[in-house]
Amino acid sequence: MADRAEELSGRVRQAAAAASPVRIVGHDTKAFMGRRAAGAVVSTAGHTGLIEYEPTELVVAARSGTPLAELQDMLQQHGQWLGCEPPDFGGATLGGTLACNQSGPARPWLGSIRDHVLGVRLVNGRGEHLRFGGRVMKNVAGYDVSRLQAGAMGTLGLITEVTLRVFPLPEYRATAVLAVDAGAALEIMSDESRKGGPLDGACWVDGRLYLRYSGFEAAVTERLRQRGGETLQQDSAFWTGLREQQQDFFAGDAPLWRISCRSAAAHAGEGGWLLDWGGAQRWLRGAREWPGLQSLAEGMDGQLSLFRGGDREGEVLHPRTPAQKRLHLALKQTFDPQGIFNPGRLFSWM
Amino acid sequence: MAEFERNWRQVATDLNAIVDARFVIDDRETLRPYECDGLSVYREMPRLVVLPESVEQVCAVMAYCHRERIPVVVRGAGTSLSAGAMPHAEGIVLSMAKFTRVIEIDPASRLARVECGVRNLAISEAAAAHGLYYAPDPSSQIACTIGGNVAENSGGVHCLKYGLTVHNVLQATLVSVEGEQLTVGGAGLDSCGLDLLALVIGSEGMLGVVTDVTVKLLPRLPAARVVLGAFDDVERAGEAVSRIIGAGIIPAGLEMMDHLAIVAAEDYVRAGYPVDAQALLLCELDGSEAEVEESTRRVADLLREQGATGVQVSRTDAERELFWKGRKCAFPAIGRISPDYYCMDGTIPRHQLSLVLREMREMSERFGLRVANVFHAGDGNLHPLILFDESVPGELEQAEAFGAAILELCVKAGGCITGEHGVGMEKIRQVPLQFSEGELTQLGLIKLAFDAGELLNPGKGIPILKRCQEYRSLERQAPPPGAAA
């Protein structure tokens, strides 16, 4: 529990004065993500602590270095959780989770951390400690700088505080398993999503479709009965393994590709695939060439990224058009005129 | 803005070469309806109104205005409640009224791609055959367009469970101030790179022109019921809201009305509201039959435990709609008991409700004007309606001063100056209540990154500090970012 915001702002001001790059980290659990970036490490790890938690307001605010696990424990004591179900990756912090826009299996139904962020404080590249957004769910004054941080991977500033909307923990959960091929799985996932109600996880891997239902026990049981199939025992191990990328599918060093696409896009066929988020997030393992995979992703109305492994010196995110690129650079300039924050982490040109 | 007298006849001629002459309006009579939006106390006549029919025309009009440095105010249905679509005296209005095509409904992926001028409700109507709908439902949903919703990040009465526009839009096509087309967001749930879509949503038409929008569609749930709870004390009603949420229930809608609003609404639509109540809660629960039965029972029990003087549960869909009708007609109902009213839109942390209402009552006496309150209780968005009579000299100014004091109070209570209506022209002077000079500078720089010439909806949303243009010219000399990589 320490407020190190002053010290962190000072580090940024020094770096800005010297125009020397910094690499912002929390616990550095996501070093594998993004491009490899150089720079003197500035860590938010010691900048921890709860700022505000009002369970009946469904709002929590904490310093960016606060471990996600600590936050989750506290929420759980009040029957709540971060509905975006972000991965812990062995010690993730709140700030890093937002910067990398990390969400887990419940994301299509409960939203992402980008959806749930209500406000941030950050140190920009001029060393100014600024506050954007707020602690209320509806707030449309000013541009949405808080959500802009999600997925920016620290290229726009050093996040010092995050305020999130939280959710009640479901009272009951159960998972149905069906042995089907990927094409059938996509159809079932789409049908299930169109029914609404207690679905909050839908993943196909290795010839099996896993459907997680959450809510009142009576409603979940009823839905399981309608769905049919086998009920998975100790199902939380499956969903945790999926969230933390610890299942067999994720083992080994082969490059891990991610396509974020239209959820009902046709299955891409051969290769090792895992379909999550009801089909909206598709994982592929193996050494592949960018151009082929990129056009595959575009055919699915999707975007490709090289999530883990492979060449981290080249581009790892779906390319931006010239117009998008210009806006990226113009925005970067407004937050970080010296280009000191995580240069090259997101794209080689930024 | 204009340091020279522009030849508007020439501008009209030039625009006629881009857009069909019938759709370049320059006569005062036809221009008149465009002089204001839903907040009609703010008025300005535009020089011209242009109604393009294709994205190519939008690009060409923007490129032309950019070259000629002509201010552009983009307009959807003109339902803004913050004068966000009020014209610029030396500019044109770009009306998107002709962009009304539903481009695609993809029921399997549960999304719709529509042009920006499609009305909010029309999306749900187009998706209804598939059992799907578009969730955000601002009270103007019959008339307001999705493009305007994107500009304002519109909410509605179901935000607590289903989110605002920003949670329900996947992708948009944007025409930049230079007239260049680009896509922000994607058809999937997450996109790569900086989240430009998040910046555009709620940007009040200041960053670009949205021409089409891809939205998420949600399944219509099989069951919904409304629980009405009457209270003889506003504070107790507020406490009941906290208890419902604390019990782990997220209602689809959770609204509160105060005595004056209840009486006016009941008098207008006969919804069966208890007119002797000091506060009324409307709590809608939706889901499967089993879920709704369970949650309705729990909410009704909680309300009774909290000392509700009356609890009613809708028995039919018709009754549920009637219960809602009173709430949805609250604004016009107030319009019947007062010659004019001024609708405010602050958000507060819910636990500050009784404090805020108490202070508001004191202000009401001080300013000598009545105030009725309707409240999106679930998400803390307060709509005080200040009753006044414009024909009485000084009352409008008094109402505006009262409104400004309410916004200040909301910020003091830990909230914000606008929950869903936007800053527009109306609240531009209150923006500094919520942001420091450094924050305003950062926001101004974002604006200039998209629109360096300040041509898009100038004078609205964010006051652009002088510092911003100085920083821009100064920092441009600095080495380009990423040079170290």
Q: Which residues make Cβ contacts (< 8 Å) with residue B381, sequence separation at least 6? A: A136, A137, A138, B155, B159, B345, B346, B347, B375, B419, B420
Closest CB to A144 among B152, B184, B201 = B201
CA distance B66 to B45: 21
Inform me whether the pLDDT recorded for A269 exceeds 90: no
Residue A163, burial from CB neighbour count under 10 angstroms (0-12, 13-18, 19+): buried
The whole-number pLDDT of residue B3 equals 57
- The C-alpha angle B347, B300, A173, rounded to 5 degrees, equals 85
How much is the CA Rg of chain B, to the nearest whole Å? 23
Residues of chain B contacting residue A320, judged by C-beta atoms under 8 Å apart: 192-193
- Dihedral of CA atoms A96, A98, A104, A109 in degrees, nearest 10, equals 170
Contact A151 B191 (CB under 8 A): yes
Cα B279 to Cα B238, B311, B357, B406, distances in angstroms: 9, 12, 12, 20
Q: Please give the average per-residue pLDDT across A20-39, as a whole number.
A: 96
- The C-alpha angle B422, B423, B424, rounded to 5 degrees, equals 100
Q: Is A119:B169 a contact under the CB 8 Å cutoff? A: no
Closest CB to B188 among A152, A261, A331 = A261
Q: Please give the average per-residue pLDDT across B178-201, as a whole number.
A: 98
Q: Closest chain B residue to A338 measured between Cα atoms?
A: B481
Cα B138 to Cα A216, A262, B141, B156, B435, distances in angstroms: 30, 27, 5, 4, 27
Closest CB to B218 among A37, A114, A196 = A196
Contact B221 A196 (CB under 8 A): yes
Task: Please give the mean pLDDT across all residues of chain B.
Answer: 94
Closest CB to B188 among A57, A262, A331 = A262
Contact B108 A264 (CB under 8 A): yes
Contact A54 B243 (CB under 8 A): no
> What values do phi and psi take at B269, rounded to 5?
-115, -5
Residues of chain A contacting residue B475, judged by C-beta atoms under 8 Å apart: 333, 337
Q: What is the DSSP string of A40-75?
A: EEEE-TT-B-EEEEEGGGTEEEEETTSBHHHHHHHH
Q: Which residues make Cβ contacts (< 8 Å) with residue A195, sequence separation at least 6? A: B219
Inform me whether the pLDDT recorded for B483 exceeds 80: no
Alpha-carbon gap: A37 to the closest alpha carbon of chain B (Å)? 7
Residue B476, burial from CB neighbour count under 10 angstroms (0-12, 13-18, 19+): exposed
Determine which helix (DSSP H) or strand (DSSP E) holds A118, and give its type and residue range: strand A117-123
Q: Enter the tokens of residue B57.
A: 């025309």
Size of interface A-B (CB pairs under 8 A): 323
Mutate to test the interface with A, among B105, B169, B183, B189 (most CBs of A within 10 A): B189
Write the secondary structure of B266-316 as one string of H (helix), E (strand) and C (coil): HHHHCCCCCCCCCEEEEEEEEECHHHHHHHHHHHHHHHHHCCCCEEEECCC
Alpha-carbon gap: B377 to the closest alpha carbon of chain A (Å)? 11
Confidence tier at B484 by pLDDT (50, 70, 90): very low
Residues of chain B contacting residue A136, judged by C-beta atoms under 8 Å apart: 347-349, 379-381, 414-416, 419
The whole-number pLDDT of residue B479 equals 52
- Dihedral of CA atoms B30, B34, B35, B37 in degrees, nearest 10, equals 150
E strands, B63-196, in order: 72-75, 92-95, 102-106, 111-115, 132-133, 169-175, 181-185
A230 secondary structure, DSSP code: E
The whole-number pLDDT of residue B210 equals 98
Sign of the dihedral defined by the CA atoms of residues A308, A310, A314, A318, in that order:
negative
Q: Please give the average per-residue pLDDT across B316-325, as a whole number.
A: 95
Inform me whether the pLDDT recorded for A192 exceeds 90: yes
For A261, other C-beta atoms within 10 Å of its C-beta total: 27
CA distance B214 to B163: 16
CA distance B350 to B234: 12
The whole-number pLDDT of residue B290 equals 86
What is the model's pTM? 0.96
- The C-alpha angle B190, B112, B158, rounded to 5 degrees, equals 80
Contact A150 B198 (CB under 8 A): yes
Inform me whether the pLDDT recorded for B156 exceeds 90: no
Of A149, A57, A145, nearest in space to A98 by CA: A149
Inform me whether the pLDDT recorded for B8 exceeds 80: yes
CA B258 to chain centre: 22
Residues of chain B contacting residue A346, judged by C-beta atoms under 8 Å apart: 193-194
Residues of chain B contacting residue A101, judged by C-beta atoms under 8 Å apart: 190, 195
Q: Which residues make Cβ contacts (< 8 Å) with residue A239, sequence separation at least 6? A: A104, A105, A175, A201, A210, A212
Alpha-carbon gap: B276 to the closest alpha carbon of chain A (Å)? 28
Q: What distance, in Å, lies between the first and last C-alpha atoms of chain A?
A: 34
Which contacts of B395-403 are long-range, i.e. CB under 8 A and separated by 24 or more positions?
Answer: B395/B340, B395/B369, B396/B41, B396/B340, B398/B367, B398/B368, B398/B369, B399/B340, B399/B342, B399/B367, B399/B369, B400/B342, B401/B367, B402/B342, B402/B363, B402/B364, B402/B367, B402/B369, B402/B371, B403/B342, B403/B344
Q: Please give the average per-residue pLDDT across A36-52, as a whole number.
A: 96
The whole-number pLDDT of residue A196 equals 85
Q: Closest chain B residue to A59 measured between Cα atoms?
A: B349
Give the model confidence (pLDDT) of A289-345 as tens digits: 999 999 999 999 999 999 999 999 999 999 999 999 999 999 999 999 999 999 999
Inform me whether the pLDDT recorded for A189 exceeds 90: yes
Contact B183 A346 (CB under 8 A): no
Q: Enter the tokens of residue B474.
A: 């100064």
**Per DSSP, what are the bridge partners of residue B340?**
B388
Determine the angle formed by the axes of helices B234-246 and B289-305, rounding to 10 degrees.
140
% of residues, chain B, pLDDT over 90:
90
Inform me whether the pLDDT recorded for A219 exceeds 60: yes
Alpha-carbon gap: A259 to the closest alpha carbon of chain B (Å)? 9
Closest CB to A328 among B132, B194, B290 = B194
Q: Which residues make Cβ contacts (< 8 Å) with residue A50, sequence separation at least 6? A: A1, A60, A61, A62, A66, A71, A74
How much is the CA Rg of chain A, to the nearest whole Å? 21
Contact B349 A54 (CB under 8 A): yes
Closest CB to B192 among A150, A305, A327 = A305
Residues recorded for chain B = 485
Q: Is B33:B54 a contact under the CB 8 Å cutoff? A: no
Contact A144 B166 (CB under 8 A): yes
Confidence tier at B485 by pLDDT (50, 70, 90): very low
Q: Which residues make Cβ contacts (< 8 Å) with residue A312, sequence separation at least 6? A: A32, A34, A35, A36, A306
CA distance B194 to B405: 37
Contact A343 B422 (CB under 8 A): no
For A321, other C-beta atoms within 10 Å of its C-beta total: 12
Residues of chain B contacting residue A115, judged by C-beta atoms under 8 Å apart: 163, 166-167
CA distance B96 to B146: 11
Q: Please give the average per-residue pLDDT across A168-189, as a whole number.
A: 97
Q: Is B484:A15 a contact under the CB 8 Å cutoff? A: no
Alpha-carbon gap: A295 to the closest alpha carbon of chain B (Å)? 15
Cα A327 to Cα A37, A344, B304, distances in angstroms: 22, 16, 55
Residues of chain B contacting residue A277, judged by C-beta atoms under 8 Å apart: 189
Of A214, A164, A166, A170, nearest in space to A56 by CA: A166
Lowest mean pLDDT among A268-277, B254-263, B271-280: A268-277
CA count, 13 A, side-chain hemisphere, A129: 10
Q: Please give the average per-residue pLDDT across B343-371, as a whole number.
A: 93
CA distance A293 to B470: 44
Residues of chain B contacting residue A151, judged by C-beta atoms under 8 Å apart: 190-195
The whole-number pLDDT of residue B477 equals 61
Inform me whether the pLDDT recorded for B478 exceeds 60: no
Residues of chain B contacting residue A281, judged by C-beta atoms under 8 Å apart: 188-190
Inform me whether the pLDDT recorded for A253 exceeds 70: yes
Of A174, A198, A195, A231, nearest in space to B295 by CA: A198
For B316, other C-beta atoms within 10 Å of its C-beta total: 9
Q: Please give the average per-residue pLDDT across B404-425, as a whole number.
A: 95
Q: Closest chain B residue to A277 measured between Cα atoms?
A: B189
The whole-number pLDDT of residue A271 equals 81
Of residues B96 and B353, more confidently modeled: B96
CA B264 to chain centre: 24
Contact B188 A281 (CB under 8 A): yes
CA distance B300 to B294: 10
SS3 state at B225: strand
Q: Please give the average per-residue pLDDT across A107-127, as a whole number.
A: 97
% of residues, chain B, pLDDT over 70:
97
Task: Please give the mean pLDDT across all residues of chain A.
Answer: 96
Contact A136 B479 (CB under 8 A): no
Inform me whether the pLDDT recorded for A261 exceeds 90: yes
Contact A218 B294 (CB under 8 A): yes
Q: Which residues make Cβ contacts (< 8 Å) with residue A215, sequence separation at least 6? A: A170, A171, A172, A197, A198, B287, B291
> What values do phi and psi take at A132, rounded to 5?
-130, 155
Residues of chain B contacting residue A19, judged by C-beta atoms under 8 Å apart: 478-479
Q: Is B194:B41 a contact under the CB 8 Å cutoff? A: no
Residues of chain A contacting residue B448, judged by C-beta atoms under 8 Å apart: 334
Contact B196 A327 (CB under 8 A): yes
Q: Enter the tokens of residue B35.
A: 């002089």
Q: Closest chain B residue to A214 measured between Cα atoms?
A: B291
For A102, other C-beta atoms within 10 Å of its C-beta total: 27
